[in-house]
Amino acid sequence: MAYIQKRGNSWQAQISWYDLQNKRRYKTKSGFLTKAAAKKWANEMEVAKQYSQISDQDPIFADYFKSWYEAYKTPGKSNSTKRRYKKIYKQLQKKFGKTKISNITRLLYQNFMNSYGKEQAKDTVYKTNGTIRSCVNDAISEGLIRMNFTKRINLTWNNERTRKIEYLSFQEVQKLKNSLLDGIKHSYISRYMLLTIIYTGMRPGEIRVLTWHDIDFKNHTINISKSWDYDNKKIINYDSDDINKETKNKSSTRIIKVDQKLLDILNQLRSNQHERLFIGENGTIPTSNAVNKVLRKQLEKNNINKDGFHFHNLRHTHVAILLFKGVDLYSISKRLGHSKMTTTANTYAYMLDELKQQSDQQIVDILDKL
């Protein structure tokens, strides 16, 4: 039964229950402006007791987030994922300090996200809010709080820091392709890797570990089932339990169609006599820096000015070509190995906006001719 009392100018409510060890527990909350408000909270706690969704713990919000992600989210994850969670923890610690989780209101959280969004790109804001929301949902399940203060939040961001996808135009990628092929030899491994990403849109880590067994020359397909883990310096199979990265999962396993031109190009590498395609005569695979060095040299040679353009941007270029040539988003998503089509749509939102603008102009041109 609840115990309600007035303390100074406000009201306090307390309820009790017995845990699984038959030990009596208490939960108290103060600061209610009216007796009715205190009773309302107590009634909610009585209902929570019936569903075992109650706890006498009230941890500091930032500390709870830290213990939550260390237990459930980061074990076995990449270093970049661990750094992302740690950055969010530092932000929560800076903003909320020693504030208990039960004292975090929707308004306090909205103010935090407003301040955070001023310096962050759109994608970062959405990811951060989604991560914190998952944490808060678990806190509700554990009976620490009753309401999810992250719901119905207005998210804002810094448009200047929102990254636009860099990609080459169709004419530029044709120039680059021809330049890479000009005078190519089987020892120029980086060139072959660049040509592969242009033709397939594969992730650089997937290209790095490609073997002859993965290529079906008869049916013109490539079976993508593994990638290179740059943090732990090892091959990971997409169908194994090693896959626990947020952006790469079992749905990354896929078979993609390729054309005869690429197969003819790759076939030149057989003379290196390695099971893996992109191992040179010295028995090593070019590093990302080495591939990017070759790419920058080729771009300069063709007067293509793209500051900061790198290996992975050619994956974006592959997507751009498919989109602007009318390939549907679902097919592109499957080709990229995304688990959800929304991932593709969010990643290439800027590109899709450009495409929409082109389509809108086409509509206007058609109507003008009526």
Lowest-pLDDT range, 12-26, 30-44, 258-272? 12-26
Q: pLDDT of 50-88, one tens digit each?
A: 766 777 788 899 999 999 999 999 988 878 889 999 999
Rounded to the nearest integer, the mean pLDDT of the chain is 87
pLDDT of 329 over the 80 cut: yes
Per-residue pLDDT for 353 more than 80? no
Packing angle between helix 288-301 and helix 189-200, nearest 10 degrees? 80
**Architecture of the 170-344 domain:** Orthogonal Bundle (1.10)
Show me where the domains of the chain are located. 3-50, 61-161, 170-344
pLDDT bracket for residue 242 (50, 70, 90): low
Residue 54's Cβ-count burial label (10 Å; 0-12, 13-18, 19+) is buried
Supply the pLDDT for residue 24.
85
> 61-161 falls under which CATH superfamily?
Tyrosine recombinase, N-terminal domain (1.10.150.130)
By the 10 Å C-beta count (0-12 exposed, 13-18 middle, 19+ buried), 52 is classed as exposed
Determine the pLDDT at residue 246: 45
* 193 vs 295: CA distance, rounded Å: 10
- Specify the DSSP element, H or E, that contains 224: strand 221-224
pTM of the model: 0.67
Backbone angles phi, psi at 162, to 5 degrees: -75, 115
Residues 6+ apart with CB under 8 A from 120: 128, 157, 158, 161
Whether 337 contacts 251, CB under 8 Å: yes
All residues at 6 or more sequence positions from 186 whose CB lies less than 8 Å from its CB, including other chains: 268, 269, 271, 272
pLDDT band for position 247 (cuts 50, 70, 90): very low
pLDDT at 244 over 60: no
**With 0-12 CB in 10 A as exposed, 13-18 as middle and 19+ as buried, what is 12?**
middle
**Percent of the chain at pLDDT above 90?**
56
